[in-house]
Chains A and B, each alone.
Chain A
Amino acid sequence: MNDTALSLDGVRKTFLSGRREITALDGVGVRVKSGSVTGLIGPDGAGKTTLMRLAAGLLAADAGHIEVLGMDVAREPLAVQSAIGYMPQRFGLYEDLSVQENLNLYADLQGVPRSMRPERYAELMKMTGLAPFGKRLAGQLSGGMKQKLGLACTLVRPPRLLLLDEPTVGVDPVSRRELWSIVYSQVEQAGMTVLLSTAYLDEAERCTEVILLHEGRLLGQETPAAFSAPLAGRTFELHVEGMPARRLQALLMRAPGVLDALVAGDRVRIVTEKAIVPDPAQLLPAHPEVQIDPVPPNFEDAFVARLRDHDGAHGQPPAVSVKVRGATGEEVIRVHNLERRFGDFRAVKGISFTVKRGEIFGLLGANGAGKTTTFRMLCGLLPASGGDLAVAGHDLRRAAARARGSVGYMAQRFSLYANLTVMQNLRFFSSAYGLRNRHQRERLAWALENFELGDYRDVNAGLLPLGYKQRLAFAAALMHQPEILFLDEPTSGVDPLARREFWARTNALAEAGVTALVTTHFMEEANYCDRLVIMAEGEVLAEGHPYDIRRQARTPDNPEPTMEDAFIALVQGREQAA
């Protein structure tokens, strides 16, 4: 038996986008060991999905050689497809078929003999917890359950190599943990090999080995520990009594010798350039009382450090000038018993919260929790079915254009005009908000400079890397200097560097008095918020400061729970109560 399940040698793949040739993979060579769980990691656009599709025989490589389970994919695609399991990013469940009918279909397609089915079905149902939902239509399952059903369909005939393309994106933390345990049980019991791509860096540490891709090139293939080894002695957690972690992070990002600064709970985690404990006087001259504790490096530290080596220095938060009327601390968003029904389905079930001026307020939850629906009601894009809401004293659905003029909105997936250039997009959005002449020119110059878009001003928005799309969308939302910002999933799909940059800018805006309402499904991003609500299935499970929410989940076994632990505790508590 060969100990390599999948190997790529000098694989190159290009696509044509219009008249431009885009290189998705450039001379990539990797080996996936049999019986391992290998993580495929890289920012959006790194080539992860292309690699998966090449291995599955769905694409043909321009150059190089791919071997799956000892077979040449280019020559025997059908034999390869019969031996592997593949779950694409948007797993194709038939939403108008029931759970059982979906399983039956894949059992038929995979040629599972009828005599073996009852046993296999029982096993899969037990593993996924879908047994009570056999007759339910797949379209009526929650996001996490859909993902588990997709996995069960892929596993109906145990494949020797399992390819999973971002199986956990947008899935709630509970389902994520369950998915991982299913994957591991398959590896251990059936001797399966798994190649899994993910955008969650904490998941990389659960892998036997990690393949790091960046812009179509291989940055390395090692164990997670080997990745973070060079950072030994370079990672610390800092704390200044009485100073919010966010402000501390903003200071540290500009401090000398600091490669990366990240809010971690009520502390700030930094990666330094050299492996010596930094001198407080040099690091933070204004706060010599800073408390510095060495911590072991994790994968994200290593990832960011590697990308920084590759990409060079990061951008500084932009200069912000906003005319904010009214005092900080005043309530600017008030939501009371807000409800939204779609037919029989209650997407938002009577939620209440308030947001004060100058706050970063988070709506945290998995896909399908009701965050975007809440957002659309607040922005006046969707009428509420019940309850009251006011943004800066107005119901935006009825408010005059002037009230809307004080609000900036960044839609999910950055609604930009893909076939207009960066400059044309900015000009359009600023005109839409009534900017003209000199004022418009000033703002355009401000956006290009502060968001470092100058080099891309004549590039069509559709061709920008995702991180730049995010910058452009953010810039477009800020053209008219709004006092209140609605940011819907601003960090979804973008790489850790772009995410850090985004939060640095949002922090700077909040410091200047802008109120920001942000939705996210990244649990750890809750730490950037002043206050937040955790949502699940249209309900608010908890509201408060991130520190307080985390503290609620404290147990003797886990004295320092993460936001994800807290989320899971809340969801489980709710299920027990039900």
Chain B
Amino acid sequence: MTPVQLSDGARSRMRLRGMIRKESLQILRDPSSIGIAFVLPVVLLFLFGYGVSLDARDIPLGIVVEQPDAATAGLIGAFERSEYFAPRRFASIQAAQRALDERHIDGIVWMRNDFSRHLLSGGEAPIGVRVNGVDANQARITEGYIQGAWLAWLGRYAAGQGHPLQMPVTLEHRVWFNAPLISRYFLVPGLVAIIMTLIGSMLTAMVIAREWDRGTMETMMVTPLRIREVMAGKLIPYFVLGMAGMLFTVVLAVYQFDVPLRGSLWALLASSALFMLVALAVGLLISIVSKNQFVAGQIAIVVTFLPAFILSGFIFDIHSMPWPIQVLTHVVPARYFVAILQSLFLAGDVWPVFWANMGAMAILLLIFMALVRRKAHKRLE
């Protein structure tokens, strides 16, 4: 063979291309990576889009009227017309209580026989309300809705009588950003962060750990390959896969689930790209530290997937967490990304929110990348 000399740069590019081609072929041939990038988003979107709902709608409500008359009929009508309730009549409070115990209904509205008398004497007409408090959140919502419906009816009734109800403070509701109060509007954008965490951290951590498990890493180490080429060769294909998964999720969210996207596309792309890099850096770090597929998978679930789910504000409001947990959420990259996503989808380009969270993600990226650089080397120890 006649030796042909290649420049260092040409050889480095050749190595990187070789790594990227190999990794891409493996992604295409491994059903699990395609599954995580494209099947999982569909499953999660359907689950959160249709299955999980934090809204209170058609709440089964028991109504007990001890002395029916025009006034009680008016209030019942108000409950029946409301889209929040599905009222059922019960003859006695005991019967309603039994239904509540058996979870046929979630609450009871009890109009006693002195209901109309109180009303006519010009005061407030008290109603008894019992709510199933097993799910505290749901109970509070139900209670609030009942109270809302009651107050609205009371106001209308008083106006009809010609002497408006005297209230010290009147509450006027305006819901911003998610006016119809549909929970999937804020759940679906958060899902983008979950899916990208799965691809970026979990899939990447397991794929690299697999190379240690199967002994392919040891062989690769004894080639002219540099450690940064190994890392780049892994990062680039998974970056592309993650962004593809993100775009796929967004398209589904907007066109299938009618979630509004009020912000600009470029802001979405830029923040996704930054978040993807952070997720990949964490994935790399996990795989370097664990070097074992099973352990890498477990660590990835505990330190990336679960926090992204629970501590990111995706479902649970960060401000209502105890303060030590609130402090902890600051190292969860998904927290910043979820904040950006929710504002981009529902509010539009809110630049102060966008840049503050981008800055936080950039800092995390620098920290994780520095750790990767320190931990990654071409040694087996």
Residues on A lying within 8 angstroms of B by beta carbon are 53, 56-60, 77-78, 81-82, 84-97, 101, 104-111, 113, 115-116, 119-120, 150, 153, 163
- B: number of interface residues (CB 8 Å): 34
Could you give 28 example pairs across A and B, Cβ below 8 Å? Answer: A56-B221, A57-B378, A58-B221, A59-B380, A60-B381, A82-B223, A84-B222, A85-B222, A86-B222, A91-B219, A92-B214, A92-B219, A96-B26, A96-B29, A97-B26, A101-B25, A106-B223, A108-B15, A108-B21, A109-B19, A109-B220, A109-B223, A111-B6, A111-B11, A115-B4, A116-B1, A150-B219, A163-B222
A120–B381 touching, CB < 8 Å: no
Does B1 contact A120, Cβ atoms closer than 8 Å?
yes
Hey, which chain B residues are within 8 Å of A115, CB to CB? 4
B214 near A78: Cβ-Cβ < 8 Å:
no
C-alpha gap A92/B216 in the complex (Å): 3
For B211, give its contact among A91, A92, A104, A107 (CB under 8 Å).
A92
**What B residues does A116 contact at CB under 8 A?**
1-2, 4
Indicate the member of A89, A107, A111, A116 with the most B CB atoms within 10 Å. A111
Known A58-B222, A60-B379, A120-B1; contact A96-B30, beta-carbon cutoff 8 A: yes
In the assembled complex, B225 has its CB within 8 A of some CB on chain A: yes
CB atoms of A56 and B222 under 8 A apart? yes
B180-222 contact mask (Cβ, 8 Å, vs A): 1 or 0: 0000000000000000000000000000000100111111111
A92 to B211, CA, bound (A): 8
Once the chains bind, are B216 and A94 in contact (CB under 8 Å)? yes
User: If the complex has contacts A90-B215, A92-B217, A93-B216, are A110 and B25 also in contact, measured as CB distance less than 8 A?
Assistant: no
Q: Which residue of the partner chain B has the closest CB to A93? A: B216
The interface residues of chain A lying within 8 Å CB-to-CB of B222 are 56-58, 81, 84-86, 163
Alpha-carbon gap, A85 to B217, bound state (A): 14
Known contacts A78-B224, A94-B216, A108 near B26 by CB under 8 Å: no
Residue of B nearest to A123 (CB): B1
User: Given A92-B211, A93-B216, A101 and B221 touching (CB < 8 A)?
Assistant: no
CB nearest neighbor in B for A53: B380
- Nearest-neighbour CB distance to chain A for B353, whole angstroms, equals 43
**Interchain CA distance A440-B224 in the complex, whole Å:** 58
17 other contacts beyond A58-B378, A104-B21, A113-B4, with CB at 8 A cut-off? A78-B378, A81-B223, A81-B378, A88-B215, A88-B218, A88-B219, A91-B219, A92-B215, A92-B217, A101-B25, A105-B19, A107-B18, A108-B18, A108-B19, A109-B18, A109-B225, A116-B2
The B288-346 residues at the A interface (CB cut-off 8 A) are none
User: Could you tell me the distance between the alpha carbons of A355 and B176 in the complex, rounded to whole angstroms?
Assistant: 82
Q: Are B221 and A94 in contact (CB under 8 A)?
A: no
Contact check: which of B30, B211, B224 meets A110 at CB < 8 Å? B224
Residues A59 and B15 in contact, CB atoms below 8 Å apart = no
Q: Do A92 and B220 touch across chains, with their CB atoms under 8 A apart?
A: yes
**Contact partners of A92 in chain B: CB under 8 A:** 211, 214-220
CB distance from A78 to the nearest CB of B (A): 7
Least Cβ–Cβ distance between A159 and chain B, in angstroms: 10
Q: At the interface, yes or no: B112 with Cβ under 8 Å from chain A?
A: no
Q: Does any Cβ of A come within 8 Å of B350's Cβ?
A: no
Of residues 14 through 28 on chain B, the ones whose CB sits less than 8 Å from some CB of chain A are 14-15, 17-19, 21-22, 25-26
Residue of B nearest to A58 (CB): B380
Cβ contacts under 8 Å, B224 to chain A: 78, 81-82, 109-111
> How distant is the Cα of A561 from the Cα of B206 in the complex, in angstroms?
49
Closest chain A CB from B338 CB (angstroms): 35
Q: How many A-B residue pairs have CB under 8 A?
A: 103
Closest B residue to A82 using CB positions: B224
- The main secondary structure of chain A at its interface with chain B is mixed
Q: How far is the CA of A110 from the CA of B381 in the complex (A)?
A: 24
Nearest B residue (CB) for A163: B222
Task: Name the CB-closest residue of A to B10.
Answer: A111
By the criterion CB–CB under 8 Å, are A108 and B17 in contact?
yes
Please tell me if B130 contacts chain A, counting CB pairs below 8 Å: no
User: Which chain B residue shows the least CB distance to A106?
Assistant: B223
With a cutoff of 8 Å between Cβ atoms, the chain B residues found around residue A93 in the complex are 216
Contacts of A53 in B (CB 8 A): 380
Kindly report which residue of chain A lies nearest to residue B12, judged by CB atoms: A111
Query: How far, in whole Å, are A78 and B229 apart by their CA atoms in the complex?
Result: 13
Instruction: Find out whether the CB atom of B14 lies under 8 angstroms from the CB atom of A108.
Output: yes
Q: Which of B214-261 contact A (CB under 8 A)?
A: 214-226
> Which of A56, A58, A77, A111 interacts with B15 by CB under 8 Å?
A111
* B15 in contact with A119 (CB, 8 Å): no
Query: Are the C-beta atoms of A78 and B22 separated by less than 8 Å?
Result: no
Least CB separation from A116: chain B residue: B1
Closest-by-CB residue of A relative to B227 is: A78
CB pair B214 A90 closer than 8 Å: yes
Shortest distance between the CB of A318 and any CB in chain B (Å)? 38
**Chain B, residue nearest A80 (CB):** B222
Query: How far is A92 from B219 in the complex, measured between Cα atoms in Å?
Result: 6
Q: Which listed residue (B21, B226, B379) contacts A59, Cβ 8 A?
A: B379
Q: Which residues of B contact A60 (CB under 8 A)?
A: 379, 381
- Bound complex: CA A163 to CA B22 (Å): 25
| Closest chain A residue, CB of each to CB of B224 | A82
Chain B residues with CB under 8 A of A89: 215
Q: Could you say which residues of chain B place their CB within 8 Å of the CB of A95? A: 214
Shortest Cβ-Cβ A-B pairs, 8 listed: A108-B18, A92-B216, A90-B215, A92-B219, A86-B222, A111-B11, A82-B224, A113-B4
Q: What chain A residues lie within 8 Å of B219 (beta carbons)?
A: 86-88, 91-92, 150, 153
In the complex, A81→B222 CA distance in Å?
5
Q: In the complex, what residue of chain A is closest to B226 when comparing beta carbons? A: A78
Docked Cα-Cα span, A97 to B18, in Å, equals: 13
In the bound complex, what is the Cα–Cα distance between A108 and B224 (angstroms)?
10
Q: Which residues of B contact A86 (CB under 8 A)?
A: 219, 222
Q: Give A95 to B219 CA distance when docked, in angstroms.
A: 14
In the bound complex, CA of A94 to CA of B214 (Å) = 9
State how many angstroms separate the Cβ of B100 from the closest Cβ of chain A.
Answer: 54
Per a CB cutoff under 8 Å, which of A59, A77, A106, A163 touches B381? A59
What B residues does A81 contact at CB under 8 A? 221-224, 378
Cα separation A170 to B219 with both chains bound (whole Å): 19
Query: Whole-angstrom distance between the alpha carbons of A204 and B321 in the complex?
Result: 68
Cα–Cα, bound, A174→B223 (Å): 29
What chain B residues lie within 8 Å of A96 (beta carbons)?
25-26, 29-30
**A60 to B379 Cα, complex, angstroms:** 8
A248: shortest Cβ distance to chain B, in Å? 43
Contact B221 A109 (CB under 8 A): no
Closest Cβ of chain A to B24, distance in Å, is: 11
A23 CB to nearest chain B CB (Å): 15
A108→B19 CA distance, assembly (Å): 8
Question: CA–CA, A105 to B19, complex, Å?
Answer: 7
- When distances are taken between beta carbons in the complex, the residues of chain A under 8 Å from B21 are 104-105, 108
Set B4, B215, B378: member contacting A91, Cβ < 8 A: B215
Residues of B within 8 Å of A78, CB to CB, are: 224, 226, 378
Which of B6, B30, B216 has the most chain A CB atoms inside 10 A of its CB?
B216
Bound-state Cα–Cα, A115 to B2, Å: 10
Q: How far is the CB of A458 from chain B (nearest CB, A)?
A: 29
Q: How far, in Å, is A15 (CB) from chain B's closest CB? A: 8
Among A85, A106, A107, the most chain B Cβ lie within 10 Å of the Cβ of A106
Minimum CB distance partner of A156 in chain B = B223
Which chain A residue shows the least CB distance to B18? A108
Shortest C-beta distance, B139 to chain A (Å), equals 50
Complex CA–CA separation, A83 to B30 (angstroms): 33
CA distance A406 to B226 in the complex (A): 57
CB distance from A464 to the nearest CB of B (A): 23
A97 near B25 with CB under 8 A, answer yes
Query: Which residues of B lie under 8 Å from residue A97 when comparing CB positions?
Result: 22, 25-26
The smallest beta-carbon distance between B23 and chain A, in angstroms, is 10
A-side contacts of B22, CB under 8 Å: 94, 97, 101, 105
Q: Which residues of A contact B25 (CB under 8 A)?
A: 96-97, 101
Chain A residues, CB < 8 A from B381: 59-60
> In the complex, what residue of chain B is closest to A110 when comparing beta carbons?
B223
- C-beta contact mask, B148-186 vs A, less than 8 Å → 1, else 0? 000000000000000000000000000000000000000
Instruction: Return the chain B residue nearest A153 by Cβ.
Output: B219
